[in-house]
Chains A and B, each alone.
Chain A
Amino acid sequence: MSKNQILGFLKKNTMIIVLIIVVAFFSWRTGGAILLPMNVSNLISQNAYVFVLATGMLLCILTGGNIDLSVGSVVCFVGAVGAILMVNLNVPIWIAIIVMIIIGTAIGAFQGFWIAFVRIPPFIVTLAGMLVFRGLSNVVLNGLTVSIKDKTFFVNLFGGGADCYVKDFIGNGTLNLTCFFAGLVATALFIMIQVSNRMKRTRKNYEVEMFGAFIAKLVAISAVIVVFSYKLAQHKGIPTVLIWVLVVVLVYGYITSNTTVGRYFYAVGGNEKATKLSGINTNKVYFLAYTNMGFLAALAGMITIARLTSAQPTYGQNYEMDAIGSCFIGGASAYGGIGTVPGVIVGAVLMGVINLGMSLMGVDANMQKVVKGIVLLAAVIFDVVSKRGGKMIVKN
Chain B
Amino acid sequence: MASEYKLELRGVSKSFPGVKALDNVQLSIRPGTVHALMGENGAGKSTLMKCLFGIYKMDAGEVLIDGQKVIINNPDEAMKMGIAMVHQELQPIPARSVGENMYLGRFPVKKIGPIQVIDHKTMYEETEKWLNEVDMHFDPKAMLSTLSIGQMQSVEIAKAVSHDAKVIIFDEPTSSLSDNEVETLFKIMEKLRSRGVAMIYISHKMDEIKRIADDITIMRDGTYIGTWPAAEMSMDDIIAKMVGRELTNIYPPKDREFGEVIMEVDGLSSIHARSFQNVSFKLRKGEILGFGGLVGAQRTELMEGIFGIRNISKGEIKIHGKKVDIKTSRDAMKAGIGMITEDRRARGIFGCLSIKDNVGVSVYNKFLQAGFVLDHARINKVVDDSINKLRIKTPNMQEHIANLSGGNQQKVIISRWLANDPDILIMDEPTRGIDIGAKHEIYEIMTDLAKQGKAIIMISSEMPELLGMSDRVIVMCNGKKTGEIDNEADMTQEKVMSYATQFN
CB within 8 A of A274: which of B307, B328, B347, B395? B347
- Indicate if the CB atoms of A263 and B362 lie closer than 8 Å: no
Which among A279, A281, A333 has the greatest number of chain B C-beta atoms within 10 A?
A: A279
Q: Give the nearest-CB partner of B354 in chain A.
A: A266
Q: Is the CB of B374 within 8 A of A258?
A: yes
Judging by beta carbons under 8 Å apart, are B353 and A270 in contact? yes
What residue of chain A has the Cβ atom nearest to residue B380's Cβ? A204
Alpha-carbon distance A206/B346, docked complex (angstroms): 31
CA distance A279 to B330 in the complex (A): 4
Residues of A within 8 A of B396 (CB): 206-207
Chain A positions 245 through 259: 1 when the CB is less than 8 Å from some CB of chain B, otherwise 0: 000000000000011
Q: Which A residues are in CB contact (< 8 Å) with B416?
A: 278
CB distance from A271 to the nearest CB of B (A): 5
| A266-B373 in contact (CB<8A) | no
In the complex, whether A260 has a CB less than 8 A from a CB of chain B is: yes
Query: Is B329 interfacial (CB-CB < 8 Å)?
Result: yes
Decide: A266 and B353 in contact? CB cutoff 8 A.
Answer: yes
A207 in contact with B395 given A278-B362, A278-B416, A338-B352 (CB within 8 Å): yes
B residues less than 8 Å from A335 (CB atoms): 352
Known: A259-B372, A337-B350. A278 touches B357 (CB 8 A): no
Task: Check if A6 is an interface residue, CB within 8 A of chain B.
Answer: no
* Cβ-closest chain A residue relative to B346: A273
Given the interface pairs A271-B347, A337-B350, the reply to whether A278 lies near B374 with Cβ below 8 Å is no
Is the CB–CB distance between B352 and A270 below 8 Å? yes
Would you call A101 an interface residue if the criterion is a C-beta within 8 Å of the partner chain's C-beta atoms? no
A261 to B374 alpha-carbon distance, docked (Å) = 10
Contact of A260 among B332, B339, B372 (CB under 8 A): B372
Check B353–A278 contact: CB distance below 8 A: no
Contacts of A11 in B (CB 8 A): none
Q: What count of chain A residues pass the 8 Å CB interface test?
A: 27
Whether A271 and B349, one on each chain, are in contact in the complex, defined by CB atoms closer than 8 angstroms, is yes
Cross-interface CB contact of B352 among A273, A280, A337, cutoff 8 Å: A337
Residues of the B chain whose Cβ atoms lie less than 8 Å from the Cβ of A261: 372
- Cross-interface CB contact of B365 among A260, A275, A337, A338, cutoff 8 Å: A260
Once bound together, how far apart are the Cα atoms of A132 and B328, in whole Å?
Answer: 36
Residues of B within 8 A of A280 (CB): 330, 361-362
B327-364 near A? 1/0 per residue, CB < 8 Å? 01110110000010100001111111100010011101
**Are B357 and A267 touching (Cβ within 8 A)?**
yes
Cα distance, A258 to B374, chains bound together (Å): 5
Q: Which of B357, B374, B376 contacts A266 (CB 8 A)?
A: B357
Shortest distance from the beta carbon of B193 to any chain A beta carbon, whole Å:
37
A279–B347 contact, CB under 8 A? Answer: no
A89 within 8 Å of B (CB atoms): no
Please give, as numbers and ranges, the residues of chain A lying within 8 Å of B309 by CB-CB distance: 276-277
Task: Give complex CA distance A337, B402 in Å.
Answer: 13
Residues of A within 8 A of B240 (CB): none
Q: By the criterion CB–CB under 8 Å, are A267 and B330 in contact?
A: no
Chain B 395-449 interface residues, beta-carbon cutoff 8 Å to A: 395-396, 398, 416
In the assembled complex, the CB of B374 is this many whole angstroms from the nearest CB of chain A, namely 5
Smallest CB separation, B105 vs chain A (Å): 14
Q: From residue B93, how far is it (CB to closest CB) to chain A in Å?
A: 19
Q: How far is the CA of A278 from the CA of B347 in the complex (A)?
A: 10
Q: Are A279 and B368 in contact (CB under 8 A)?
A: no
Min Cβ gap B403→A in Å is 12
Residues of A within 8 A of B376 (CB): 258
In the bound assembly, the distance between CA atoms of A349 and B21 in angstroms comes to 54
Q: Is the CB of A277 within 8 A of B330?
A: no
A206-B396, A266-B353 as given contacts; A279 in contact with B373, CB under 8 Å: no
Least CB distance from A280 to B in Å reads 7
28 contacts between A and B (CB under 8 A): A204-B380, A206-B396, A258-B376, A260-B374, A263-B357, A263-B364, A264-B364, A266-B353, A269-B352, A270-B352, A270-B353, A271-B350, A274-B348, A274-B350, A275-B350, A275-B361, A276-B309, A276-B329, A277-B309, A277-B339, A277-B341, A277-B347, A277-B348, A278-B361, A279-B328, A279-B333, A337-B350, A337-B353
- In the complex, besides A271-B350, A337-B353, 4 extra interface pairs with C-beta distance below 8 angstroms are A258-B373, A277-B341, A337-B350, A338-B352
Query: Which 8 residue pairs of A and B lie closest in terms of their CB atoms, listed nearest first?
Result: A270-B350, A278-B362, A279-B330, A260-B364, A337-B352, A273-B347, A279-B333, A271-B350
